[in-house]
Amino acid sequence: MDIRRAKERGHTQIDWLDSRHTFSFGDYHDPRFMGWRVLRVLNDDRVAPGGGFPTHAHRDMEIISVVLEGGLRHRDSLGTGSTIVPGDVQLMTAGTGVRHSEANASNELPVHFLQIWIVPEKAGLPPGYQQKSFPTADRRGRFRLVASPDGRDGSLLLHQQVSLSIAVVGPTETAAYDLAPGRFAYLHVARGAARFQEHTLAEGDGVALPSGAGALAVWGIESGSGDAEILLFDLP
């Protein structure tokens, strides 16, 4: 088990963007942190009011956005236009190629979101876009599946043998997950603070778990920061 502390992550800061990189990304390169299994990018982005990423291209990547605060405006070459808000999960299959832009939907308030890249099972897929809301009530005290390779339980369809689940836990709550034999996992605390095994995890901390980890559980703690929101990647 390897803990990746928030303060150890890479950092990019420009006038409209404050971004923390769990794994190597852009100008931040560390050969020790090139991803975990097929999880390639996990960026913690804060975009200032009126700021945003101009139109740019992607290909052969599954790109997931999870908004934690504010609203994220999305436009792409598939003709999709939407605003993603807390509780929403967006999944874009870049496949043979897609161009898109992401911007803060507000001129007054910042937006805080996670940008996640997963290497797809095969290259050359048709580009696609999915978005769905997963209310806090469905994630409270349990890991709610939000993306999977078969779209089960109302999750988004992910073109890789990866399942992404999200839990919300308060100070007296626990969320449990059974990791199957031969599977790996990555835990990321998106907001708040939580307890995992004997470790206290703060916002932005992550844990890479080897195969054989078995039953996993996270506990909410009295941290003064309210609920904790935790992402769990179940990986091949």
pLDDT at 211 over 90: yes
111 lies in which domain range? 2-235
Average pLDDT, the chain: 96
pLDDT band at 226; cut points 50, 70, 90: confident
Return the CATH number at 91. 2.60.120.10
Residue 138, sorted as left (phi over 0), alpha (psi -120 to 50) or beta, turns out to be alpha
pLDDT at 225 over 80: no
pLDDT band at 193; cut points 50, 70, 90: very high
Edge-to-edge strands of the sheet including 98-104? Answer: 52-58, 98-104, 72-76, 81-84
Q: Give the pLDDT confidence of 104-131 residue by residue, as tens digits.
A: 999 999 999 999 999 999 999 999 999 9
Q: In the chain, what percentage of residues exceed pLDDT 90?
A: 95
Least Cα distance to 166 among 111, 105, 86, 224 occurs for: 86
**Domain total in the chain:** 1
User: Taking a C-beta distance cutoff of 8 angstroms, is the pair 66, 118 a contact?
Assistant: no
